[in-house]
Chain A
């Protein structure tokens, strides 16, 4: 029983990491129909940016703030104006391929320009281990999980309780009506991209101590984030959290009780079942198909 709990708790910690990456992905899709295949790299780049700031002597907090500002400009506004705006009306294909190209460029750019090595990243939380009834958790596990939940709930609250948030939702659901109602559509869409960029930096802060800053850290993270987003519900922020946690826990349980070699298959299986029987995700709302 303690084994099961151990796996569960570790899985929740890992899953909250996936959830953070999935959250921004979900938001972008909701607000602008953008599928961002570079989402993993959007987490990788801020990790290196923070490392760079710290190598100039800045403490972690300052590095974080500076990186958030940089990310909002480059990964938020720059991405939107440069890539998304020109391509949105051409359907899904060009944006998908453009973000694929972007991920190749970012990943290999960091490798060529910085280093191919993995770099350690300072942990927000002290290195403490707690042992409760035979189950061990680190402070970082609890902290990451708590912060991830907090961030998701905060985002959800922002979207449903503030005027700006509701305006963003309106834009996501029906752009023309939102415009008619006087909502500044381009600005709302920009906010979405800015929030995605900020969330990516937050994810980097929490994720990189475990993942280690490496040019290809985005690959694995990105794929898991996509799965988590779909399982949880692609049009719902809390869905990203649920999806991420499910993937994290399922992987661990599968590796321990079924077969370590096929552990990725379990997340896959859940994913396929969800897609076939409840494509809007476990928490999502059904999307109408236009004729």
Chain B
């Protein structure tokens, strides 16, 4: 099992490294866009999928990260300082957002985070002196690495790829550690977890904070990718899309965000080019999401588990039938 996974990972890495060289600028741009959303969705997956919280305000952190990097870049601070600064700021704000989560649950929490997102969006939109308001911040530069300019699409893509892999490994490590187990305990049965000594308060706050930090990193990368930011991509609708990506990919599955972000970012783009769909690509996307959910409520990555469950059920029935037959033989004999 282990060797097979490593081989798959190796192939995936090779594909991701080499593929862009066969693509034109649009394809590379789209891939970078996808990778950035994978990072953001990984964070949300931690909060929602592993820790079982409800967060409909993720795009706010995406925005805070983006604006932090953009504002600092305009002020002359290097990208390499701006990105961690954005992540730290998001971590802090995420901790703050965790507090309502201690008081309210499920749908109320979902709406509290939604309210938080709207508040952040309003601040970004109205405080023109800081954020450029509705005019946004334009001409955001791309970073340099050891004198190497990362201005080109391909170069920037590689940077984003490296950061995505690093963040993924970080998350992998986190989930395999005792912290990861604590998060899942929080999701499955918080009261029992508390009784076993897991600090529900602490881990709730942490799940929001870490998720937020991931979104902050993604936001910073986003700012330099698009090179122009305005309040629109950080509103509630964007948060809702991110939530959609997590659930469609498979909440609580490590690679869920990869598939979820693909559905959210790449599927609509792909649908555009399908002949006959054209103007209807968005309704088709919406319908596809509904069908996907009805068919696979646990997300796309639940497919292997479902197949396994069905196979085991069949084996169990076969075993039972065989045993029953054998018992009948014995009895009649």
A residues adjacent to B (C-beta < 8 A): 29, 35, 37, 82-83, 86-87, 90, 92-98, 100-109, 112-113, 219, 223, 226-227, 230, 234, 261-262, 264-265, 268, 271-272, 275-276, 279, 289, 291
Contact = CB atoms under 8 A, between A and B. Distances in A.
A97 B290 CA distance: 8
Given A105-B285, A112-B283, A261-B122, 16 more contacts: A86-B297, A87-B297, A92-B107, A94-B298, A100-B243, A101-B290, A102-B290, A103-B286, A104-B286, A105-B282, A106-B283, A109-B280, A227-B115, A265-B118, A279-B103, A289-B105
Contact of B293 (A98, A104, A271): A98
Main SS at interface, chain A: helix
A94 B286 contact: no
B51 to A, nearest CB: 13
A265 B127 CA distance: 14
Contacts of A275: 100, 104, 108, 111-112, 115
B233 to A, nearest CB: 16
Nearest to B292: A101
B316 interface: no
Contacts of B191: 291
B131 to A, nearest CB: 13
Nearest to B106: A92
B308 to A, nearest CB: 18
Contacts, number: 130
Nearest to A219: B237
Interface in B237-289: 237, 240, 243-244, 247-248, 251, 279-280, 282-289
A230 B111 contact: yes
7 A-B pairs with least C-beta separation: A105-B286, A101-B289, A104-B286, A108-B282, A94-B297, A109-B283, A98-B293
B244 A264 contact: no
Nearest to A229: B111
Contacts of A291: 191
A148 to B, nearest CB: 22
A268 B283 contact: no
B325 interface: no
B279 A90 contact: no
A288 to B, nearest CB: 11
A279 B108 contact: yes
B155 to A, nearest CB: 34
Interface in B72-121: 100, 103-108, 110-112, 114-116, 118-119
Contact of B282 (A90, A104, A262, A276): A104
A93 B107 contact: no
Nearest to B237: A219
Contact of A100 (B116, B126, B240, B282): B240
A265 B119 CA distance: 6
B1 interface: no
A29 B293 contact: no
B196 interface: no
A219 B238 CA distance: 13
A101 B119 contact: no
A107 B236 CA distance: 16
Contacts of A262: 122, 126
Nearest to A261: B126
B111 A105 contact: no
A35 B126 CA distance: 31
18 contacts: A35-B110, A86-B294, A90-B298, A97-B289, A97-B293, A100-B243, A104-B285, A105-B283, A105-B286, A106-B283, A112-B279, A112-B280, A234-B107, A272-B112, A272-B115, A275-B100, A276-B100, A279-B104
A29 B286 contact: no
Given A105-B287, A289-B105, A94 B115 contact: no
Interface string B208-240: 000000000000000000000000000011001
A87 B287 contact: no
A275 B101 CA distance: 10
A262 B126 CA distance: 8
A100 B105 CA distance: 21
A95 B110 CA distance: 14
A249 to B, nearest CB: 18
A271 B236 CA distance: 16
Contact of B107 (A35, A83, A90, A97): A35
B294 A87 contact: yes
A112 B282 contact: yes
A250 B1 CA distance: 60
Given A98-B290, A101-B290, A108 B283 contact: yes
B289 A98 contact: yes
Nearest to B296: A94
A87 B294 CA distance: 6
Contacts of B112: 272, 275-276
A95 B243 CA distance: 12
Contacts of A113: 280, 283
A108 B115 contact: no
B288 A101 contact: yes
B294 A276 contact: no
Contacts of B48: 93
Contact of B297 (A37, A90, A219): A90
